[in-house]
């Protein structure tokens, strides 16, 4: 027996996501905050994709928890930053242990070391952007259960080298 009917379009992510995937969105006193939790690849991809909604010049802060190195840069060209992050995506998703913040005076996107995405903004535009990305809003999201200290992140020489190359190509200064 065959069942026929309307076939709904669904992305690969929708088919294979876990029940924990989603985001919470809240209004604080003077800003809005979103917390996005999904699998590592999805979060890193979202971080990269959401940057396209930022203005053409952004500030960047990167902290490598393995080496305790920090870099910072101001008024960087968004396409250059997106390109540098694109080169890091695979290593970031595989290893974590790095915090990257891309921000302006109005918005901030932060990928934390355990690969959760945080968004802080002065407007609620990110709510609609996240809905458009196919994420489900939840009252609260389940945070990553693994919390590691700096010395507990396993070595990731490929990621460490890629971070140094990204910092150099963007002209970031040690912080």
The parent domain of residue 158 ranges over 19-142+152-174
The 10s digit of each residue's pLDDT in 93-116 is: 999 999 999 999 999 999 999 899
Q: What is the residue-wise DSSP string for 114-155?
A: TS-EEEEESSSHHHHHHHHTTPPB-SS-PPPS----GGGSPP
Q: What is the pTM of this model?
A: 0.84
Is 164 a domain residue?
Answer: yes
The total number of structural domains in the chain stands at 1
Is 50 a domain residue?
Answer: yes
Q: What is the pLDDT of residue 135?
A: 85
């Amino acid at each position: 027996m065959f069942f026929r009917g309307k076939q709904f379009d669904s992305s690969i992510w929708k088919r294979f996501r876990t029940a924990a995937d989603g985001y919470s969105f809240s209004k604080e006193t003077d800003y809005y905050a979103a917390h996005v939790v999904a699998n590592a690849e999805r979060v890193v991809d979202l971080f990269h994709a959401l940057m396209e909604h930022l203005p053409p010049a952004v500030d960047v802060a990167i902290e490598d928890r393995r080496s305790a190195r920090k870099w910072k840069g101001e008024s960087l060209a968004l396409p250059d930053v997106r390109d540098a992050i694109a080169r890091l995506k695979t290593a970031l998703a595989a290893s974590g242990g790095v915090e990257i913040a891309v921000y302006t005076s109005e918005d901030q996107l932060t990928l934390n070391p355990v690969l959760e995405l945080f968004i802080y903004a002065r407007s609620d535009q990110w709510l609609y952007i996240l809905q458009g990305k196919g994420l489900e809003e939840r009252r609260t999201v389940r945070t990553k259960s693994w919390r590691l200290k700096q010395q507990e992140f396993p070595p990731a020489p490929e990621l460490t080298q890629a971070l140094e190359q990204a910092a150099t190509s963007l002209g970031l200064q040690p912080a």
